Amino acid sequence: MAVSEDEYKALPHQGVVAASEEETGRVLASVLARFPGRVAVISSFGAESAVLLAQIAAQDKAVPVFFLDTGRHFPETLAYRDELSQHLGLEDVRTLQPARKEVEYRDPEGQLVAFDPDACCALRKVEPLDVVLPEFDIWVTGRKRMQAATRAALPVAERQADGSVKLNPLAGWSEAQIADFMKEKALPAHPLVARGYRSIGCEPCTRPVGAGEDSRAGRWAGLAKTECGLHRPVPVTPPPGADKEEISATALLAERPVE
């Protein structure tokens, strides 16, 4: 399956989606109604994941939520996945893992992260997700423009090379809005947030961040790497009616499904 051109045109695009709970709820409700059984969420169960997952749960607790268990996560993240899923009543949280034989063959000592982190992410994240990508047409992510300079022009809807669409309904949300939403809804926080972690991935590749740093500054710190490979650039079809400036930003930031 794929998202048709008419379906893609009808999706919300950059510049027309307000950063608010009401608007995010409207977008999610519309997409879930128009693409029944074709929508899935990808979540890292990290520092801000509760905000998207709570809004998904408010619409439909049975929407599939995928979590990539790389085998290198903080134990706190695995516990938080279970706690948050239970708190929100999520009914279909699916954990993906790398193939055991592939890990034994390509990373027998568990040192791949030290000398080739891109290969490590490919083995533990990209390839396990590739197996399920064809099952869904809309992949919802919780990425936001404010998280890092590399996400500053993040589109709301991104056409992918395989015909699917990545939807980023929180693209315009600010850090203050995220914090307010967490507080207002009394959502449980990832336990590492209190220790200065504002973006949380695998343990070997994550450190706390200081005041004034981007929230993602602690991911692959000291390396040029800024994404795990789930969001690497691919050619995209610009949204219909987009002006040249928007097409340029969309094309630059278009990525494969998912976080």
Structural contact between residues 47 and 200, judged by C-beta atoms closer than 8 angstroms: yes
> Sheet harboring 65-68: ordered strands across?
93-96, 65-68, 39-42, 138-140, 165-167, 157-159
Task: Rule CB under 6 A: say whether 232 interacts with ligand SF4.
Answer: no
Residues 163-192 that bind ligand SF4 (CB under 6 A): none
The number of residues that bind ligand SF4 (CB under 6 A) is 13
* Site map 72..111 versus ligand SF4, x via CB under 6 A: x---------------------------------------
Residue list, annotated binding site for [4Fe-4S] cluster = 120-121, 202, 205
| Contact window for ligand SF4 (CB under 6 A) among 16-24, 34-42, 75-83, 196-204 | 196-204
Question: Which residue has tokens 């589109």?
Answer: 155
- Rank residues 54 and 113 by Cβ distance to ligand SF4 and give the closer one: 113
Q: Which residues contact 199 (CB under 8 A, 6 or more apart)?
A: 46, 47, 48, 147, 206, 209, 215, 216, 218, 219
Please, where are the H alpha helices in the chain? 5-10, 21-34, 49-59, 75-88, 100-106, 112-115, 117-121, 127-132, 175-184, 244-253
Q: Specify the 3-state DSSP secondary structure of 239.
A: coil
* Rounded-to-integer distance, Cα 22 and Cα 169, Å: 11
Under the binding rule (CB under 6 A), the answer on residue 202 touching ligand SF4 is yes
- In the window 18-47, what residues touch ligand SF4 (CB under 6 A)? none
Q: Pattern of binders to ligand SF4 over 110-149, x per CB under 6 A? A: ---x---x--xx--xx------------------------
Shortest distance in whole angstroms from residue 73 CB to ligand SF4: 8
**Residue 22 annotated among the catalytic residues of the structure:** no
The catalytic site residues sit at 228
Footprint on this chain of ligand SF4 (rule: CB under 6 A): 70, 72, 113, 117, 120-121, 124-125, 201-202, 204-205, 228
